[in-house]
Chains A and B, each alone.
Chain A
Amino acid sequence: MSLSINKTAESHPLTWCLREDEQPVWLDEYRRKEGYVGVEKALAMHPDEVVSLVKDAGLRGRGGAGFPTGLKWSLMPKDESMNIRYMICNADEMEPGTYKDRLLMEQMPHLLVEGMIIAAHAIKAYRGYIFLRGEYVEAAENLRKAIEEAKLAGLLGKDILGSGKDFELFVHTGAGRYICGEETALINSLEGRRANPRSKPPFPAVSGAWGKPTCVNNVESICNVPSILNRGVDWYKGLTTNGSSDCGTKLMGFSGRVNNPGLWELPMGTTAREILENYAGGMQEGLDLKTWQPGGAGTDFLLPEHLDLPMDFEHIQKAGSRLGTALAMAVDHKINMVSLVRNLEEFFARESCGWCTPCRDGLPWSVKILRAIEHGEGQPGDIETLEQLCRSLAPGHTFCAHAPGAVEPLQSAIKYFRKEFEAGISGQANNLREIRGIQPNQQ
């Protein structure tokens, strides 16, 4: 049973103007509901003041990594002669278990357009792209319509609302591949290349799309901006609960075999238990919670005892995981962890772009071992090989965060559920010849 939620602009800045009938909110209605007031306020300010405001508000990136949005904006070059700059929205939502940006783009396209205009003003970009995954057909249609409406109303294009600010915005749709969500891979993809991540530094703020200063922000991060402009820093900071050090609200959810899987806008710091029990209605009849991922496929598993943690970047990290996208997934006691992790690693192996060796070769290797263990054909030493892979694919060994994300669920599943892995080891190392220095592995 879900709570009946009384949404107001003060308490639910992201979702309060959603319609009951789940139809998109178009321009007239959006403007009646305080829409584009943020743009008016932003355009009256100096770009640097907008950056400071968002920095002071404490908004952290909602795409998973949690990098402070205002800080990212402030990294754009101060050199005014670098006047071709790009504002890119990362709308390539493909993290397994994540379904938040879809809702915002399908039903509140103008909120994203408004946020993009403010962001473009802040970083002095003249052109912007919404990099949208190809499968989000309805989101593409609604965003394009919203952009047309905004153009006609003088909110996009030349001299926006008489401010002298120019900004044009395009929807760029992708053609698959999870790796496009990595910001430098996304830039390569936007340029019409294979989506291989780029070496950093230089960071996109210095050299991004076509070598120009570029800022890439997640959909939800950008959607937080209009209300910060509209209602101010103190209000935004005051939205949180349970003494969370983070600010604002967050789209959070629970999926899996729970009674009412879904998505809700909640204060940062709401406990996972409250989301699972009060909003998602608890586990389905006859099922017990065994473990959960707090925010997407690339986050470490946590146990039921961690449910009372406030959902924010700091607390979830202290428990050994990451807040990620804050869309949690419940795993019930009937799910075998080896099968579950095999599914996760198959995903990461398939979606590896193939650019660097540890990821391209390490992930399929882990899948091979996990499949063997799943079928009870694991060999002694297999679990140790998996643990070795977790170390070899850790941060710092690869170009991007794909492989480090991939091993987070693997390492935590072995840590908490080692017995299930051991049960798949057949006990006999037949057909094996140990070679010095190389881990034995044979299917």
Chain B
Amino acid sequence: MNQPIKIVTVSDDSDDFVLSDADAQAIEHEKHHYEDPRAASIEALKIVQKRHGWVPDGAIKAISDLLGIPASDVEGVATFYSQIYRQPVGKHIIRYCDSVVCHITGFEEIVTELEKQLKIKPGQTTPDGRFTLLPTCCLGNCDKGPTMMVNDDTHVRLVPSNLANILEQYQ
């Protein structure tokens, strides 16, 4: 509260974004799995994100053109789903489970240690752009908690002392 409002200039790359041929082809391919091309919108966002790391404004427009649906609908979908990032994220995404069984087995200690090592809070990205730290709901490893995913890898039975070793694997 009462902090001066900082005006941050973000480089607007919406005009620069060009959907790669490979991505456009992958999206075209997805379209045929469904009765209506709209159904490929989430997969299209994931395809763009896989290459680009996140979904810039220009990609929303490109996907809307490709699927023949309004850009506002693509944006509506992009902002609804938690795994679609509409702002830049780190090279590696850490998603720690903060659900109830991990509450019992102690995810809070894990987050505290992650915050200490990365010097960021959940929802933030390290200044070097290496890691983004995000909470996620139950990862379905409740018998092996606390648990987290780094990118597509699942790490279970976490203990604070072992986190540095895990982070080391992601340069």
CB within 8 Å for A96 and B42 given contacts A135-B149, A176-B81, A192-B77? no
Chain B window 138-170, contacts with chain A (Cβ cutoff 8 Å), 1 for yes, 0 for no:
111111110001001000000000000000000
Count class of interface residues, chain B: 35 or more
A189 contacts the other chain (Cβ, under 8 Å)? Answer: yes
- Are B137 and A137 in touch, CB under 8 angstroms? no
Q: Which of A320-343 contact B (CB under 8 A)?
A: 327, 329, 331-332, 335, 339-340, 343
Count class of interface residues, chain A: 35 or more
CB-contact partner of A97 in B43, B69, B80, B138, under 8 A:
B138
Q: How far is the CA of A295 from the CA of B76 in the complex (A)?
A: 33
B125 contacts the other chain (Cβ, under 8 Å)? Answer: no
A137, A192, A195 — most chain B CB neighbours (10 Å)? A192
- Are A256 and B42 in touch, CB under 8 angstroms? no
CB-contact partner of B101 in A170, A173, A195, A255, under 8 A:
A255
- Are A96 and B81 in touch, CB under 8 angstroms? no
Chain B contacts for A174, CB-based, 8 A: 42, 81
B91 contacts the other chain (Cβ, under 8 Å)? Answer: no
A38 to chain B, nearest CB (A): 26
Q: How far is the CA of A84 from the CA of B100 in the complex (A)?
A: 41
A259 to chain B, nearest CB (A): 12
Q: How far is the CA of A131 from the CA of B39 in the complex (A)?
A: 12
B110 to chain A, nearest CB (A): 14
Q: How far is the CA of A206 from the CA of B98 in the complex (A)?
A: 38
Q: Which of A82-106 contact B (CB under 8 A)?
A: 84, 93-99, 101-102
Q: How far is the CA of A212 from the CA of B39 in the complex (A)?
A: 15
B103 contacts the other chain (Cβ, under 8 Å)? Answer: yes
- Are B142 and A97 in touch, CB under 8 angstroms? yes
- Are B81 and A192 in touch, CB under 8 angstroms? no
Q: How far is the CA of A306 from the CA of B124 in the complex (A)?
A: 44
A-B contact count (CB 8 A): 132
Q: How far is the CA of A178 from the CA of B36 in the complex (A)?
A: 24
Q: How far is the CA of A346 from the CA of B107 in the complex (A)?
A: 15
Chain A contacts for B140, CB-based, 8 A: 93-94, 98-99, 101-102, 135-136
- Are B100 and A98 in touch, CB under 8 angstroms? no
A257 contacts the other chain (Cβ, under 8 Å)? Answer: yes
- Are B143 and A347 in touch, CB under 8 angstroms? no
CB-contact partner of B100 in A101, A257, A297, A332, under 8 A:
A297
- Are B99 and A192 in touch, CB under 8 angstroms? no
- Are A255 and B98 in touch, CB under 8 angstroms? no
CB-contact partner of B80 in A195, A209, A331, under 8 A:
A195
Nearest CB in chain B to that of A139: its residue: B140
B35 contacts the other chain (Cβ, under 8 Å)? Answer: yes
- Are B136 and A297 in touch, CB under 8 angstroms? no
B55 to chain A, nearest CB (A): 11
- Are A347 and B99 in touch, CB under 8 angstroms? yes
B18 contacts the other chain (Cβ, under 8 Å)? Answer: no
- Are B82 and A297 in touch, CB under 8 angstroms? no
CB-contact partner of B42 in A101, A189, A335, A344, under 8 A:
A189
Q: Which of B35-69 contact A (CB under 8 A)?
A: 35-36, 38-43, 45-46, 67, 69
CB-contact partner of B104 in A94, A331, A346, under 8 A:
A331
Nearest CB in chain B to that of A196: its residue: B80
Nearest CB in chain A to that of B82: its residue: A176
- Are A262 and B81 in touch, CB under 8 angstroms? no
B83 contacts the other chain (Cβ, under 8 Å)? Answer: yes
- Are B39 and A256 in touch, CB under 8 angstroms? no
- Are B143 and A263 in touch, CB under 8 angstroms? yes
- Are B141 and A343 in touch, CB under 8 angstroms? no
Q: How far is the CA of A59 from the CA of B73 in the complex (A)?
A: 39
B40, B45, B69, B140 — most chain A CB neighbours (10 Å)? B140
Chain A contacts for B6, CB-based, 8 A: none
- Are B101 and A194 in touch, CB under 8 angstroms? no
Nearest CB in chain B to that of A297: its residue: B100
Q: How far is the CA of A93 from the CA of B36 in the complex (A)?
A: 25
- Are B46 and A175 in touch, CB under 8 angstroms? yes
Chain A contacts for B42, CB-based, 8 A: 174-175, 189, 192
Chain B contacts for A350, CB-based, 8 A: 137
A46 contacts the other chain (Cβ, under 8 Å)? Answer: no
A253 contacts the other chain (Cβ, under 8 Å)? Answer: yes
Q: How far is the CA of A261 from the CA of B103 in the complex (A)?
A: 15
- Are A255 and B142 in touch, CB under 8 angstroms? yes
Chain A contacts for B39, CB-based, 8 A: 190-192
A177 contacts the other chain (Cβ, under 8 Å)? Answer: yes
A210 contacts the other chain (Cβ, under 8 Å)? Answer: yes
Q: How far is the CA of A108 from the CA of B105 in the complex (A)?
A: 28
A193 contacts the other chain (Cβ, under 8 Å)? Answer: yes
Closest 10 CB pairs of A and B: A176-B82, A96-B99, A175-B81, A261-B143, A192-B41, A96-B138, A176-B83, A255-B142, A192-B38, A192-B39
Given contacts A97-B101, A339-B103, 4 further A-B contacts (CB under 8 A): A96-B100, A98-B142, A102-B140, A192-B77
Give A contacts to B, CB under 8 Å. 84, 93-99, 101-102, 134-137, 170, 172-178, 189-195, 209-210, 212, 253, 255-257, 261-263, 297, 327, 329, 331-332, 335, 339-340, 343-344, 346-347, 350-351, 353
* 7 residue pairs from A and B, CB less than 8 Å apart: A97-B99, A97-B101, A99-B140, A136-B140, A173-B46, A195-B80, A261-B144
Give B contacts to A, CB under 8 Å. 33-36, 38-43, 45-46, 67, 69, 73, 76-77, 80-84, 95, 98-101, 103-105, 136-145, 149, 152
